[in-house]
C-alpha cells in the first residue's frame, strides 16, 4: 500500500485561522479559507471540525452560505439604521441586529449616495451592501429600503386651505413636505409644532401624514428643545411608580457611615448648575514618608442608597442612560426630588455620600486610595469664576474665609495632578464650546465661548483621579466594572492624518507606534501658529469614540490603563453601576451590585453608550436651532470664517464670531468641475485648479438661516479673511484616479462621447 505523500505545508494552527479571518474585510467563504492554506481532501474535513470548535467557543461566527468571520466583523450584506451625520456631512449608519449590533464595538459606516433618490431619514432602516475601508470603517450601498413602522417626525404645521395643511419637517435631512388632511390634523393651528407619522401607501404626488401630538407654538423660545426631545424620543415626564419612589426619599442617619460633617468639603460648578453631585477637599499629607504630597477627598452623592437595583427608578434611569442638557432645560436621568434634592450636595445640608480618599505624591502620582460611605455637609457652593478670582487674589465675601484652609490646598494639589497628566502625555485638545445666552423669557440673546479657567482644570483632574481609583479598586479584586473605554485611533485614520500633516510641513514619520505622545508632539509643533486650530481639529477627528463596556481596554486619550466613570451618578447610569459595584465589593451595605446584574454589563454598556450618543445629537441640534434663530437677523451680512469640513457636496464653514457651522453648497462655488480629495480634506477644481481646503480662512455671505431645521446656507465672497494654515505652494493637484464630484447632468450619448474626447485632449 502506497503511503500518503507528505504535506508540503503544515496544517494551520487555530490562531493562524483566526488571524486570517480577522485580516479579512468581510466573512470568508469556506472554500476560500481552504484554498488560502492549501487544504484538500481529508484536510477540508479537519478544517470543518476546527471551525466548528472555534464557533462553539465563541471565537467566530458562521454566516450564510458557509462564510466565517470573527464575532466583531460585519457581514457583507446587513440591515442598517441611519444614525446621523459626521463632521463632514457624511451620512452614518449602524447595525440593528445580530452580534454586530449587540457588541460594544463602535462602527463607522458611511452611506454612499443613492443616485436619483432622497437620502434616507434619521432612524430609517435599509438593507445595504458593505465595502470595507479600514479598521471598523465601512462604506454602505443601499440595496433596498425596508418597510416596518413609519418613522415619526417633528415639523411645523402650515394651513394652506380649508380642510388641509402642510407639515415642513424640522429634520434638515428630510426633504419631503407632508400633506395633512383635515381628519388627520388633530386640530393643529397655524405655525404649531406637531409630531407626525407619515402614511404609507399614498398614491398621490405628495406624501401624506397624520398628526400624533401637538407640541406647542413654533415661535416659542422653548420650541427648539421640544423638537429635539420629540425627534430623539427623550421623555420629560417620569412614570408614576418612579415618581412615587423618589418622593418617599428622605434624610439618612449617620449609622456606620464616616462622619465628614465638620470637614470643609465644597462644591465647584457652573453658575447655571442646578445639581451638585461632587464635593472636594485637599490638605498636605502629614506623613513624613510623603513629603510634598497631598491627601485628597472626592465625595459623590450616594445615589445608590436612593435608587435600588431593579426598582421603578432604576429601570427608568437605565432607559434614559444619562441626563440631557439643553440651553433652556434639562431632561434629567432622575426625578427632581433626587437630582435637585436629596442627591444634590447643597450647602449646610446633611447628605449621604460615597467618598474616595486618596493620597498623591508631590509629582501627582496616586499612591493609595480608599472608599467609604459617609455623611457630609457642604461648606459652600462655589462657581468656577469665584474660585478663579479668589486664587488670582480677588476673593469675595464667600471665598475669603475659605482661601487659606480650602482653596489654596486644592490649587496646590491640582498643580501636582497636572504635572502627572503632562508626564503621561494625555491628549489636551483645546475645544471651544459654544454657550447660548438666554434672557428672562428663555429667548437667545447671544452666543459666547464657554470660558476655560484653571478652576475647571482643578475639578477635572480631581474627578479623573477618583475615576482611576474606582477602576483600580474593582479591577484589583476582579469585580465587575463598567469601564469608560477609549480605544487607540485606527491605523488608517492615523496614516490619513499623517498625509495632511506632512502637506502642512510638519514632521510625522510613517509607521510610528500609535501612542498619545505622538499627537502631543504634533500639537506642540503648531502651538500659537495659524495651523493650531486646523491640526487640533484633525487630531480630534482621528480619535475613536469612547464607550462603556465591562472589558478594560484602557483610555487612550487620557493615557490611562484603566478608567471608569464614578463621579456623576445623578446624571450617568454608568456611574451608578460603578457605585453599586464598589458597595458590593467593599461590603458597604445591602444595596450593592447583584451577582446576576454583572452578566448584563455588556448589554447595558451598549445601551447607555447609544443613549449618550443620542443625547449628544439632540443637544447639538438644539444648539444649532438657537444659533440659527439668532443669525436669522443677520441674513445678508458678510462674516469671517474657516472651512471646518469638506464633503463631496460642498464646504462647511465655521463663523469666527458665533462659532456656528453653515454649508456652502458646491453648486455655489465658482464654475468648475470639483473633485473631493477625502485624504487631504479638499475640493479641487479639475478645470481651473481652484482649491478649497480644511482650515482655510474665508469670507462668506449668510444667505439663509432656518431656525426650524437649525441650518445655515452661505456663499463665498471676496475679501480679506485671515492667514492660511497651509504653506505656500502646497496646494494639492487634481488626481487622475477615481474622483468624487457633482453628478453630471443628463446628456445624449453623442454629446457625452464628444465631451470625453475633449477631456482626453
What is the CATH number for 717?
2.40.50.140
pLDDT surpassing 60 at residue 643: yes
Per the CB < 8 A criterion, the answer to whether 345 and 638 are in contact is no
Same domain membership, residue 195 and residue 338: no
pLDDT computed for residue 254 by the predictor: 95
Backbone angles phi, psi at 153, to 5 degrees: -130, 155
pLDDT surpassing 70 at residue 394: yes
Domain end: 219, 248, 277, which one? Answer: 219
Residue 8 is assigned to a structural domain of this protein: no
Average pLDDT for the chain = 84
Higher per-residue confidence, 201 vs 552 = 552
Mean pLDDT of 348-354: 97
pLDDT computed for residue 77 by the predictor: 83
Same domain membership, residue 665 and residue 729: yes
Per the CB < 8 A criterion, the answer to whether 224 and 625 are in contact is yes
Q: Which of helix, strand or coil describes residue 693? A: strand
Angle between helices 454-476 and 384-391 (to 10 degrees): 110
Mean pLDDT of 197-209: 67
Residue % of the chain over a pLDDT of 70: 85
Domain end: 145, 167, 201, which one? Answer: 145
Mean pLDDT of 475-501: 89
pLDDT surpassing 70 at residue 97: no
pLDDT computed for residue 652 by the predictor: 92
Domain end: 98, 120, 145, which one? Answer: 145
As given in the structure block, the three cell numbers for residue 575 are 456611574
Same domain membership, residue 435 and residue 509: no
As given in the structure block, the three cell numbers for residue 123 are 432612524
Residue % of the chain over a pLDDT of 90: 43
pLDDT computed for residue 57 by the predictor: 58
Q: What angle do CA 406, 407, 409 make, to 5 degrees?
A: 75
Q: Residue with C-alpha cell 388641509? A: 164
Per the CB < 8 A criterion, the answer to whether 111 and 130 are in contact is no
Top-confidence range, 49-63, 135-149, 261-275, 304-318: 304-318
Q: How many CA atoms lie within 13 A of 352 on its CB side?
A: 20
As given in the structure block, the three cell numbers for residue 649 are 457636496
pLDDT surpassing 80 at residue 121: no
Mean pLDDT of 33-61: 73
DSSP-derived secondary structure for 99-133: HHHHSS---EEEEPP-TTSPPPPTT-EEEEEEEEE
Same domain membership, residue 555 and residue 532: no
Q: Whole-model pTM above 0.85?
A: no
CA diameter of the chain: 103
Residue 6 is assigned to a structural domain of this protein: no
Residue 609 is assigned to a structural domain of this protein: yes
Question: With bands split at pLDDT 50, 70 and 90, how would you rate the model's confidence at 738?
Answer: very low
- Ramachandran class of 455: left when φ > 0, alpha when ψ lies in -120 to 50, beta otherwise: alpha
pLDDT surpassing 70 at residue 650: yes
pLDDT computed for residue 218 by the predictor: 81
In angstroms, rounded to a whole number, what is the distance separating the alpha carbons of residues 313 and 694? 47
Question: What are the residues facing 713 on neighbouring strands?
Answer: 663, 704
Per the CB < 8 A criterion, the answer to whether 437 and 415 are in contact is no
Higher per-residue confidence, 51 vs 330 = 330
Same domain membership, residue 477 and residue 337: yes
Beta pairing, strands 137-145 & 108-111: parallel
Count of structural domains within the chain: 6
pLDDT computed for residue 744 by the predictor: 41
Q: What is the pLDDT of residues 167-194, one digit of tens each?
A: 988 887 777 788 898 888 888 888 889 9
Residue 716 is assigned to a structural domain of this protein: yes
pLDDT computed for residue 257 by the predictor: 95
Question: With bands split at pLDDT 50, 70 and 90, how would you rate the model's confidence at 739?
Answer: very low
Same domain membership, residue 438 and residue 334: yes
Same domain membership, residue 164 and residue 30: no
Q: What is the domain extent for residue 708?
A: 635-761
pLDDT surpassing 50 at residue 81: yes
Same domain membership, residue 688 and residue 602: no
Higher per-residue confidence, 734 vs 648 = 648
As given in the structure block, the three cell numbers for residue 106 are 463602535
DSSP run (H or E) holding 242: helix 240-247
pLDDT surpassing 90 at residue 230: no
Q: Which of helix, strand or coil describes residue 655? A: strand
Question: With bands split at pLDDT 50, 70 and 90, how would you rate the model's confidence at 718?
Answer: confident
As given in the structure block, the three cell numbers for residue 177 are 413636505
Nearest residue to 346 via CA among 243, 273, 427:
273
Residue 568 is assigned to a structural domain of this protein: yes
In angstroms, rounded to a whole number, what is the distance separating the alpha carbons of residues 558 and 562? 10
Per the CB < 8 A criterion, the answer to whether 378 and 266 are in contact is yes
Question: With bands split at pLDDT 50, 70 and 90, how would you rate the model's confidence at 85?
Answer: low
Nearest residue to 119 via CA among 156, 93, 97, 150:
93
pLDDT computed for residue 231 by the predictor: 84
Backbone angles phi, psi at 85, to 5 degrees: -135, 150
In angstroms, rounded to a whole number, what is the distance separating the alpha carbons of residues 297 and 267? 12
Beta pairing, strands 266-269 & 380-383: parallel
Q: Residue with C-alpha cell 460585519? A: 74
As given in the structure block, the three cell numbers for residue 474 are 474593582
Per the CB < 8 A criterion, the answer to whether 556 and 488 are in contact is yes
Same domain membership, residue 326 and residue 207: no
598 burial type by CB count under 10 A (0-12 exposed, 13-18 middle, 19+ buried): middle
pLDDT surpassing 70 at residue 8: no
Q: What is the pLDDT of residues 565-617, one digit of tens each?
A: 999 999 999 999 999 999 999 999 999 998 889 889 999 999 999 999 999 99
DSSP-derived secondary structure for 144-167: EE--SSPPPEEEEEEEEETTEEEE
Per the CB < 8 A criterion, the answer to whether 249 and 224 are in contact is no
Q: How many CA atoms lie within 13 A of 724 on its CB side?
A: 14
Same domain membership, residue 162 and residue 37: no
Same domain membership, residue 526 and residue 417: no
pLDDT computed for residue 133 by the predictor: 74
- Lowest-pLDDT range of 247-251, 591-595, 650-654, 745-749: 745-749
Q: Which of helix, strand or coil describes residue 751? A: helix
Residue 118 is assigned to a structural domain of this protein: yes
pLDDT computed for residue 686 by the predictor: 84
Residue 229 is assigned to a structural domain of this protein: no
Q: What angle do CA 185, 190, 194 make, to 5 degrees?
A: 50
Residue 233 is assigned to a structural domain of this protein: no
Same domain membership, residue 128 and residue 206: no
CATH number at residue 131: 2.40.50
DSSP-derived secondary structure for 594-661: -HHHHTTHHHHHHHHHHHHHHHHHHHHHHHHHHHHHHHGGGTT-EEEEEEEEEETTEEEEEETTT--E
User: Could you say which DSSP state residue 633 is in?
Assistant: G
Higher per-residue confidence, 702 vs 526 = 702
Amino acid at each position: 500500500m502506497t503511503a500518503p505523500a507528505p504535506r508540503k505545508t503544515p496544517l494551520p494552527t487555530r490562531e493562524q485561522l483566526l488571524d486570517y479571518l480577522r485580516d479579512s474585510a468581510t466573512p470568508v467563504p469556506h472554500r476560500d479559507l481552504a484554498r488560502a492554506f492549501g487544504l484538500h481532501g481529508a484536510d477540508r474535513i479537519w478544517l470543518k471540525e476546527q471551525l466548528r470548535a472555534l464557533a462553539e467557543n465563541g471565537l467566530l461566527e458562521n454566516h450564510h452560505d458557509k462564510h466565517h468571520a470573527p464575532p466583531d466583523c460585519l457581514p457583507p450584506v446587513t440591515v442598517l439604521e441611519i444614525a446621523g451625520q459626521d463632521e463632514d456631512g457624511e451620512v452614518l449608519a449602524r447595525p440593528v441586529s445580530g452580534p454586530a449590533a449587540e457588541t460594544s464595538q463602535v462602527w463607522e459606516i458611511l452611506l454612499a449616495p443613492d443616485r436619483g433618490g432622497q437620502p434616507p431619514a434619521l432612524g430609517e432602516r435599509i438593507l445595504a451592501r458593505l465595502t470595507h475601508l479600514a479598521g471598523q470603517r465601512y462604506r454602505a450601498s443601499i440595496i433596498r429600503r425596508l418597510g416596518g413602522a413609519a418613522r415619526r417626525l417633528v415639523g411645523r404645521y402650515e394651513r394652506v386651505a380649508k380642510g388641509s395643511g402642510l407639515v415642513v419637517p424640522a429634520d434638515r435631512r428630510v426633504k419631503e413636505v407632508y400633506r395633512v388632511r383635515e381628519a388627520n390634523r388633530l386640530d393643529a393651528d397655524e405655525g404649531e409644532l406637531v409630531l407626525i407619522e407619515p402614511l404609507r401607501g399614498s398614491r398621490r404626488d405628495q406624501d401624506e401624514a397624520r398628526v400624533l401630538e401637538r407640541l406647542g407654538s413654533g415661535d416659542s423660545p422653548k420650541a427648539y428643545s421640544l423638537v429635539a426631545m420629540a425627534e430623539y424620543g427623550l421623555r420629560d415626564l417620569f412614570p408614576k411608580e418612579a415618581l412615587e419612589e423618589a418622593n418617599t426619599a428622605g434624610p439618612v442617619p449617620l449609622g456606620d457611615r464616616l462622619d465628614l460633617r465638620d470637614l470643609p468639603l465644597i462644591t465647584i460648578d457652573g453658575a447655571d448648575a442646578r445639581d451638585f453631585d461632587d464635593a472636594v477637599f485637599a490638605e498636605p499629607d502629614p506623613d513624613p514618608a510623603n513629603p510634598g504630597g497631598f491627601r485628597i477627598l472626592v465625595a459623590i452623592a450616594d445615589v445608590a442608597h436612593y435608587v435600588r437595583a431593579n426598582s421603578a427608578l432604576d429601570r427608568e434611569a437605565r432607559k434614559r442612560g444619562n441626563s440631557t442638557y439643553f440651553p433652556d432645560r434639562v431632561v434629567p436621568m432622575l426625578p427632581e426630588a433626587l437630582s435637585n434634592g436629596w442627591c444634590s450636595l447643597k450647602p449646610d445640608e446633611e447628605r449621604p455620600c460615597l467618598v474616595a480618599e486618596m493620597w498623591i505624591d508631590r509629582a501627582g502620582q496616586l499612591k493609595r486610595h480608599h472608599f467609604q460611605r459617609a455623611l457630609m455637609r457642604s461648606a459652600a457652593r462655589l462657581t468656577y469664576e469665584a474660585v478663579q478670582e479668589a486664587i488670582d487674589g480677588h476673593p469675595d465675601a464667600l471665598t475669603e474665609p475659605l482661601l487659606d484652609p480650602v482653596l489654596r490646598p486644592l490649587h496646590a494639589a491640582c498643580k501636582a495632578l497636572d504635572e502627572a497628566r503632562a508626564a503621561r502625555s494625555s491628549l489636551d485638545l483645546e475645544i471651544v464650546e459654544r454657550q447660548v445666552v438666554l434672557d428672562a423669557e428663555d429667548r437667545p440673546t447671544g452666543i459666547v465661548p464657554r470660558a476655560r479657567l484653571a478652576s475647571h482644570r482643578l475639578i477635572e483632574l480631581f474627578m479623573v483621579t477618583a475615576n482611576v481609583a474606582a477602576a483600580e479598586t474593582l479591577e484589583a479584586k476582579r469585580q465587575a466594572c463598567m469601564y469608560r473605554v477609549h480605544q487607540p485611533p485606527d491605523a488608517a485614520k492615523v496614516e490619513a492624518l499623517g498625509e495632511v500633516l506632512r502637506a502642512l510641513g510638519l514632521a510625522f514619520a510613517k509607521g510610528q507606534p500609535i501612542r498619545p505622545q505622538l499627537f502631543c508632539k504634533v500639537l506642540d509643533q503648531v502651538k500659537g501658529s495659524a495651523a493650531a486650530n486646523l491640526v487640533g481639529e484633525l487630531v480630534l477627528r482621528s480619535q475613536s469614540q469612547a464607550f462603556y463596556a465591562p472589558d478594560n481596554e484602557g483610555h487612550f486619550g487620557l493615557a490611562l490603563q484603566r478608567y471608569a466613570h464614578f463621579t456623576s451618578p445623578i446624571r450617568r447610569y454608568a456611574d451608578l453601576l460603578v457605585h453599586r459595584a464598589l458597595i458590593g465589593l467593599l461590603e458597604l451595605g445591602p444595596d450593592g451590585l447583584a451577582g446576576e446584574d454583572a452578566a448584563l454589563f455588556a448589554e447595558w454598556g451598549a445601551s447607555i453608550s447609544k443613549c449618550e450618543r443620542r443625547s449628544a445629537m439632540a443637544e447639538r441640534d438644539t444648539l444649532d436651532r438657537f444659533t440659527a434663530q439668532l443669525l436669522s437677523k443677520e441674513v445678508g451680512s458678510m462674516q469671517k470664517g474657516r472651512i471646518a469640513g469638506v464633503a463631496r457636496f460642498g464646504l462647511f464653514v465655521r463663523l469666527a464670531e458665533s462659532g456656528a457651522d453653515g454649508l456652502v453648497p458646491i453648486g455655489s462655488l465658482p464654475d468648475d468641475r470639483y473633485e473631493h480629495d477625502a485624504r487631504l480634506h479638499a475640493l479641487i477644481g479639475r478645470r481651473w485648479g481652484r482649491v478649497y481646503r480644511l482650515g482655510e480662512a474665508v469670507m462668506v455671505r449668510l444667505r439663509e438661516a432656518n431656525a426650524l431645521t437649525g441650518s445655515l446656507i452661505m456663499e463665498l465672497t471676496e475679501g480679506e479673511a485671515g492667514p492660511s494654515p497651509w504653506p505656500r505652494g502646497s496646494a494639492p493637484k487634481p488626481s487622475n484616479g477615481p474622483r468624487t464630484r457633482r453628478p453630471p447632468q443628463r446628456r445624449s450619448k453623442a454629446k457625452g462621447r464628444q465631451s470625453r474626447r475633449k477631456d482626453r485632449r
